[in-house]
A and B are shown apart, each in its own frame.
Chain A
Amino acid sequence: MRGRVLAVDRSATPAMAVVRGERADVRLPARDDWRPGDLVNDGGEVVRAGGGVDFPSPRTETARLPRARMANLQARAKALAALRAFFAECDFVEVETPLLVPSPGLEIHLDAVSAGGGYLITSPEYQMKRLLAAGFERIYQVCRCFRGNERGPHHAGEFTMVEWYRGFDELDAIIRDTEQLVAHVVHAISGTTRARVHGRAIDVTPPWPRMTVRDAMRTWANIEVRGDEPATVLRDAVRAAGIELDDTAAWDDAFFAGFLARVEPAIAALDRPLVLEDWPAPLAALARRRTDDPQTALRFEAYVGGLELANAFGELTDPVEQRARFEEDLRTRRERGRESYPIDEKLLAALAEGLPPCAGIALGFDRLVMLATGADRIDDVLAFTADEL
């Protein structure tokens, strides 16, 4: 058994050592010349001495990850292989688009990271839509995305996104893909259909329960949301539900204050995933509005155990409305003192030439690995976090 000697106990007879291999930590009889930190081969020879230093605290060593994290990284590799097999089976083409772009996402609440005279992508959306306009129908991508000022138990500034699109198809097909993909990956890792979130088991067997955003806000927060009401009206409704809110809160801030205080905890308590659909128009982002109800956008979010796993749109394909939304986002960014980015004119040109009706989704791969392995923090499924570099 080759690996790194973590500890040697010479008070035992015979002397025993703990050796960390790729797959496991093993307790073995220690040879006389073994010291903590040494790398030993299958024959027990020291191939690289640990510098003659005892390591009283193995955790402080840069060459060591906690065992559980190594196991999660092995599960992560399996999850990626399972995911690629799933998409191959469904006849999707894997694509790779640039990470360094001149025009990052304009969404009001995202900060792009600048690099090399441009920006790192916050999502591969714009370039993938250009591929759809070019004639691809089913494409997916697994890539790193970068978002400034996001760090928490479920957020890392650099993370892995799985994004896929279906041309000439509807949002319902994306819901089915999502349910099946998650069940497939969870099964590949755990051998069951149960995801684990904060120690709770969530049965991810398709189909998943669905609820509209307005129903969720009414049921769990006792807040009526229309979408066309002024911010003051929504603020009052949120306050009436007992949630504190200051007068500077915009419409979307008021919405999310209610959502985070009441709806998200309620979703987290469910023992099944939830597809939260029919978002109010102000939260449409890049989704098109329903033709039968312009106050509602064709958008859903998938939650598993309270973890926000994926966001999907019936994609906006109208170049005129798309430009108007970009300009509105930029105006809001300027009003709120956030950095402005250039509009992606090549995307708008592609839309003008004709983007087929399509639906697409972005799913947080790190979070998917969290659910499949039962890891509570995103850090536990990453090789290294930004603070470990």
Chain B
Amino acid sequence: MYDTSDIRKGLKVLMDGNPYTVIEFQFVKPGKGAAFTRTKFKNLLTGAVVERNIRSGEKLEPANVETKDMQFLYKEGGDLVFMDQTNYEQVTISTELIGDAHDLMKDNLPCTVVFFNERPVDVTLPTFVFLEVTASEPGVRGDTSGNVQKPATVETGAEVMVPLFIRVGDMIKIDTRTHEYVERVNKT
């Protein structure tokens, strides 16, 4: 069991059967009352954030949560196959867990996978991925007013809105949290 002196960012605890991670904490103490640790927890399954004041002396149950660096290998139907880079074990994860960003995943992409009771519950992609544009209509000259964008398809099959100057073969940087084009990058 943990007590308030163990609370730190990233601590994984079990509350009402759900795994939570500590994202923020602060010592608070009313002048004539007990010391509390005002703690913000994020539910590792739903992402919901809750705040609780944990009294000194209260116990917190550790959650069986493990974070592993894994490499995305390939898609298999609606699932994605990942490999643990330390022991080469493979694990199959449903695309649902990854959400919208699954179509930005290229082979060998390094990800962080969170396991709760040995079951994968969350996958974090790198914030940015670099992908090649495989299809896009040429921009129409003259139509350059404001922030005009056009659709482009990248090598993983995802469609991303890009500026008019982007051409097939360009390498672009995409934010995996928003699916948004960030910038064109030079091919290395």
Interface set of A (CB-CB < 8 Å, partner B): 107, 109, 149-155, 244, 246, 248-249, 252-253, 255-257, 259-261, 264, 283, 285, 301, 308, 311, 336
Contact = CB atoms under 8 A, between A and B. Distances in A.
Contact of B53 (A154, A155, A257): A257
Contact of B35 (A150, A249, A264): A150
Contacts of B30: 256, 259-260, 264, 308
A249 B55 CA distance: 9
B31 A253 contact: no
Nearest to B36: A260
Interface of B: 26-36, 38, 51-53, 55, 57-58
Given A151-B27, A152-B27, A283 B32 contact: yes
Contact of B33 (A151, A244, A248, A252): A252
B31 A257 contact: no
A285 B28 contact: no
Contacts of A283: 32
Given A246-B58, A260-B38, A260-B53, A150 B29 contact: yes
A308 B33 CA distance: 12
Contacts of B34: 109, 252-253, 256
A152 B29 contact: yes
23 contacts: A107-B32, A109-B29, A109-B34, A149-B35, A150-B27, A150-B35, A152-B27, A154-B28, A155-B27, A155-B29, A248-B58, A249-B55, A252-B34, A253-B33, A253-B55, A256-B34, A257-B55, A259-B30, A260-B38, A261-B51, A285-B32, A311-B31, A336-B57
List of 4 A-B pairs having minimum Cβ-Cβ separation, nearest first: A152-B27, A256-B33, A260-B53, A311-B31
A54 to B, nearest CB: 34
Given A152-B26, A153-B26, A246-B58, A256 B31 contact: no
A260 B51 CA distance: 11
Contacts of A244: 52
B53 A308 contact: no
A308 B30 CA distance: 8
Contacts of B53: 257, 260-261
A216 to B, nearest CB: 13
Nearest to B38: A260
Contacts of B38: 260
Contact of B31 (A153, A255, A301): A301
Contacts of A255: 33
A250 to B, nearest CB: 9
A117 to B, nearest CB: 27
Contacts of B57: 248, 336
